[in-house]
Amino acid sequence: MPGVLSIAGIALAELAIRRAFLRRRIGGFWSIRQQLGISLVLAGMAVLVVTAAALAAPSVIVALPLLAAIAACDIADAVSFRYFGVSVGETIRHLPVSPLGPHAFKAAMAYIHSFLPKKYPIASCGVLIAAPLIASRWLPPGPELIGSGAFAVVLGVATAVWRRRAPHDDLAVVERAIVLAPDTVDRHPLQRCERPGAFTLAAPPQSVPGTILLVILESAGARLPSSQDPKLSLADRLRQLSGAFEAWIAPVNAISNSSCTDVVLPSILTGAAPHESSAKLHRLPFLFDIAGARGYRTGFFTSSSLDWAGLGDFFAGARIDTLFTAETDDLPYVNDLGIDDHIAARRLAEWLDAGAAPAFAVLYSNALHVPYQRDSEIAIPDTLTARRDRATYIVERELALLFETLEANGRFDDALVLVVGDHGELFYDDPDPDDASPPSRLTALSETIIRPLFLIKPPSDLGTAFRDTLRRNGERLIGHIDIAPTIADLLGVNLAADLRYAGRSLLRPLDDDRVQYVLTTNEWRSWPRSAVGIFRGRSSAIVDYLDDRLCRYHGADAGAGFERDALLASGLGEPLVQRALTRIYKERLGL
């Protein structure tokens, strides 16, 4: 009995530390049960190590390294729960960073520096090392401790993997069809690929912008406030900084087609929708290819490393004249896997300033990635103390720099500028800006995640008909997958006969009842859990792990095709959407 009480005490103490560390997590389906099971496993293993050391070689030196290794497993698992909502055992094989890559050590150090609170390792090591050693002082090592430790490990594993079967007698007909469908997906990761014959040039278009600038902001949602005024959105602040507020079009019903960057970036830059095949993704031309064929010099500038999720190999197949990434100058990471964000923007400004038009450039900014860039080569006002505000200020200054560069060269008016967030981030109603542990957007799709910042400044000589259509489309459902078709339409590009964009050109009238899908997993991105969004007009059906409902429905449009079951039925018609739906339903129902 004393052995059982000792293990229970260790497990509860470790669980208390874990819950304090994860106090703001509300995602993670059944995460409390899993954490309790893992805590029992760790406590049982700790007692077994101390007991074995005492029996075989009564020396604390033998036990301490093994206990430290157990504590390291606990730390890794807690971090996984904190940011992803699932245990490290579920995430480890899906992580996009290779442990064998040339920058693996640099990436590991960056993650530790960015994401690991220093108090947790101390507390975890303290409990898992001190408690068993103290217990062994008053509990003689022997069969009771060994049996108690082994029982705790077995009970912990059973608790962590047990799945409660939920009742499902009230499922709708379409939901029963979802449950009975297959849920396996063939994986085809991002890779370098040549794309011959993917497009042709039509007759020269009447209007070709001298500059096309596409800015993709990491984790910038439509509701993200500016750095110094919480009542002013970042989107409106950027419009102010451009000096031409009214020239911009700010769509009101734009969605991100994924909450995951390694889905969004390839989707934006090729036009492939997340619910389409990896084979099609690797056939569609890059925007760099299209622009280069029209005589544009092309550049891709990012503060982020591309040494993850196969992005480096993927973009190696694009026609990019100038590529600047976190590895170009081997600078230190300062936020997640990114260098100082302002450096990449400054390099882009210099590139724009030094070369002649026409120019096509993409800036992928990483400053707003959790845990948010805090310091930069530029001076940040001392009044900004929260990390998110400081990162937002960096983004504002780098966009202002790009606008000023274009204006100084007389190219702003003639430029097509798009500024979009890759997705939003899930924040609390009253967030602590320094808390870097919101519920994981990888398995949850809230309004703040799905609605990205989305701004379009058309070139001044764009025809009146195109401009009016563009503004009208700003009232309709649009998404990331519409960016590539729009630029291809503007530049007079036709896809090969066997290729077709899933999105639509925003220069052409859009249907009011078009359907768009949001996916967090697909053929080129795997993860332990999926999330699915189906949108039509202003109505939506969301299936994820954010709450206890199997499907969250928002109905803002009347008529056939906008009801919940009709939206789910449309998902059944798309194989990857259907398989993601089936996977979520089966896990949520314990099937």
**Cβ-contact 489, 271 below 8 angstroms:** no
- The CA distance from 336 to 339, in Å, is 9
Asked if residues 333 and 104 have their Cβ atoms less than 8 Å apart, the reply is no
DSSP 391-417: HHHHHHHHHHHHHHHHHHTT-STTEEE
227-237 pLDDT, tens digit each: 989 999 999 99
Please tell us whether the domain made up of 208-511 is placed in CATH 3.40.720.10. Answer: yes
CB 470 within 8 A of CB 59: no
Q: Which two tokens stand for residue 152?
A: 């705790």
**pTM, full prediction:** 0.90
Q: To the nearest 5 percent, what fractions of the chain are helix, strand and coil?
A: 45, 10, 45
**Cα 283 → chain centroid:** 24
Residues of the chain with pLDDT under 50: 25-30, 428-437
Determine the pLDDT at residue 39. 86
Q: Among the residues of 533-574, which ranges form H helices?
A: 564-572
Cis peptide bond prior to 143, omega within 30° of 0: no
Find, among 233, 229, 281, 305, the residue nearest to 452 by Cα: 233
Give me the long-range contacts of 512-517 (CB less than 8 A, separation at least 24): 512/476, 512/537, 513/537, 513/557, 513/561, 513/562, 514/476, 514/477, 515/567, 515/570, 516/255, 516/257, 516/477, 516/479, 516/481, 517/257, 517/273, 517/274, 517/275, 517/571, 517/574, 517/577
Structure tokens at 487: 């630029």
The two structure tokens encoding residue 69: 């290794």
Grouping H, G, I as helix, E, B as strand and the rest as coil, residue 29 is coil
Are 153 and 44 in contact, with CB atoms under 8 Å apart?
A: yes
pLDDT value for 370:
84
- Comparing CA positions, the residue from 408, 416, 519 lying closest to residue 462 is 416
pLDDT, position 138 = 63
Q: Provide the 3-class DSSP secondary structure of residue 512.
A: coil
Report whether 94 contacts 52 (CB < 8 A). Answer: no
Distance separating alpha carbons of residues 342 and 401, to the nearest angstrom: 9
Angle CA 373–442–177, to nearest 5:
165
Q: Taking the domains of the chain in order of start, what are their residue ranges?
A: 2-161, 167-185+526-591, 208-511
- For residues 63 and 408, give the distance between their C-alpha atoms in angstroms, rounded to a whole number: 67
